[in-house]
Amino acid sequence: MYSHLLLAADGSSNATRAAIAAANLISAMPECRVEVLYVIDPAKVKDEVLHAQNHEEIEYNRRQKLMPVQEELEKRHITYHITMINGEPGSAIVEYADQHEVDLIVIGSRGLNTLREFVLGSVSHNVVKRAHCPVMIIK
């Protein structure tokens, strides 16, 4: 089926739900390579810097955000790799998936109503519109 799955994670409960769904899917495809992608949003970096003592603390906090996702994958003995990149999340996920020949993107959704999504946009909606591979959105 799929040989390379990209799990977009941002530390939210939505990302944890996406990890659970991805783990269920991957359990049927043990040969599938799993990559957890964390996009460092430039719009949020200033806030991270203001609340941290140094660069190591920022990195530690980012890794901590991914712990629930890691726990879900490890609980099912799924081998994975974590990648952190900089960029606007929606376009960075799609660009990364294109460059690394990803077969499936799994991403969580906040479940915005139609009006809020139209006004604010959403990362998952952005990914679905631009991706060149299948995208699974988990609510």
pLDDT tens-digit readout, 7-57:
999 999 999 999 999 999 998 898 999 999 999 988 887 777 677 778 888
- The number of domains in the chain is 1
* Tens-digit pLDDT profile for residues 111-127: 545 544 544 458 998 99
Question: Which residues constitute the domain of residue 84?
Answer: 4-138
Q: Which residue has the tokens 């799609």?
A: 94
In DSSP terms, which residues pair with 104 in a beta bridge?
A: 5
Q: Using an 8 Å Cβ cutoff, are 6 and 92 in contact? A: no
In DSSP terms, which residues pair with 135 in a beta bridge?
A: 105
CATH number of the domain bearing residue 39: 3.40.50.620
- The tokens describing 80, both together, are 């994975």
Run of H or E including 33: strand 33-40
